[in-house]
Amino acid sequence: MTRGLLLFAHGARDPNWAVPFEDVAQRVRAAHPGVPVALAFLEFMTPDLREAGRQLAAQGCTRVDVLPLFLGAGGHVRKDLPELMAELASAHAGVCWQLHPAVGELDSVIGAMAAAAGQLLRASTDTK
C-alpha cells in the first residue's frame, strides 16, 4: 500500500492567503520524505480536490488520508467535502480515501491556539 496525504483548505482570491497552508504542506513533506503530499482548495485556487486526488492516484497511492485544514466542521466540511469524497471514490476505485476531522477540532491544534493566545497575553503583560 502506498499512502498519500491530501490537505484540503478553503481557498481565497488573495494568493497570499495560501502561504501558511503551503508552509504546512512543505513541513509535512520535509518530515515525511517519500510520502506524496498534495494541497487542494475548495474554491478560488488550484488545484481543487478532484485534481489533487487524481495526482495522488496517478502517483500510485492506494490509501489517501484527507485532512481538512479548517478550524471547524462547518457546511463545507459537513456537506461539500463528503460529496467531493464520493466523487473521488467513484473516479479512483482502487484508492481508499480516508476523511479525517477538521484540523481545528484536534486537541493538539486547540492546545496550540490556546498556547499562542497565552503567549500574546504574557508578552503584553511583560511590556507594561
Q: Is 10 a catalytic residue?
A: yes
Q: Are the beta carbons of 36 and 61 closer than 8 angstroms? A: yes
Question: Which residues contact residue 29 at a Cβ distance below 8 angstroms, ignoring those fewer than 6 apart?
Answer: 35, 37
Catalytic residue among 10, 76, 92, 100: 10
Provide the 3-class DSSP secondary structure of residue 7.
strand
Burial 15-31 (b: 16+ CB within 10 A, else e): eeebeebeebbeeeeee
Helix (H) or strand (E) segment spanning residue 98:
strand 96-99
What pairs with residue 96 in β-bridges? 63
What is the set of active-site residues?
A: 10
